[in-house]
């Protein structure tokens, strides 16, 4: 997953505005040791209550996804494999599209999967 300050700030704003408790769970492919420690620190600096998971076997990962209610695709770079994993497990999700090629790949994937247009945000406030 492509973690960056704008993505984390947007998640923090969602958490702040939500009328119900929100818990963000991050499933970090191949993150272990110092890499996981660094990611956990960076994420917790913005989202103190977030769950940050190390790399896990595929069946455990699929089971973990099944405990989620929806997914947010990271932006601006997208997360094609993560989108496929989440959609395969039946999770609804949202993505943010943009003008650059790297920022609208997820939009194309959402459209190809015939997901509802409302799931493709065109701005941070959308």
Q: Where are the domains of the chain?
A: 5-121
pLDDT of residue 126: 57
- The answer to whether residue 2 scores a pLDDT higher than 80 is yes
Contact 91, 71 (CB under 8 A): yes
The average pLDDT across 83-88 equals: 96
What is the percent of the chain with per-residue pLDDT over 90, rounded to a whole number? 87
State the CATH class of domain 5-121.
Answer: alpha beta
Task: Please tell me the pTM assigned to this model.
Answer: 0.92
The average pLDDT across 114-126 equals: 91
Asked, as a colleague might, if the bond just before 107 is cis with ω within 30 of 0, I would say: no
pLDDT of residue 102: 87
């Amino acid at each position: 997953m492509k973690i960056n300050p704008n993505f984390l700030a947007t998640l923090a704003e969602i958490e702040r505005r939500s009328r119900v408790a929100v818990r963000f769970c991050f499933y970090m492919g191949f993150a272990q040791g110092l890499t996981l420690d660094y990611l956990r620190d960076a994420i917790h600096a913005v989202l103190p209550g977030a769950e940050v998971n190390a790399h896990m076997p595929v069946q455990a990962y699929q089971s973990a996804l099944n405990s989620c209610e929806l997914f947010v695709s990271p932006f601006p770079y997208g997360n094609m494999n993560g989108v496929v994993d989440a959609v395969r497990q039946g999770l609804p999700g949202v993505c943010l599209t943009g003008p650059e090629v790297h920022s609208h790949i997820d939009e194309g994937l959402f459209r190809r999967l015939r997901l509802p247009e409302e799931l493709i945000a065109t701005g941070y406030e959308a």
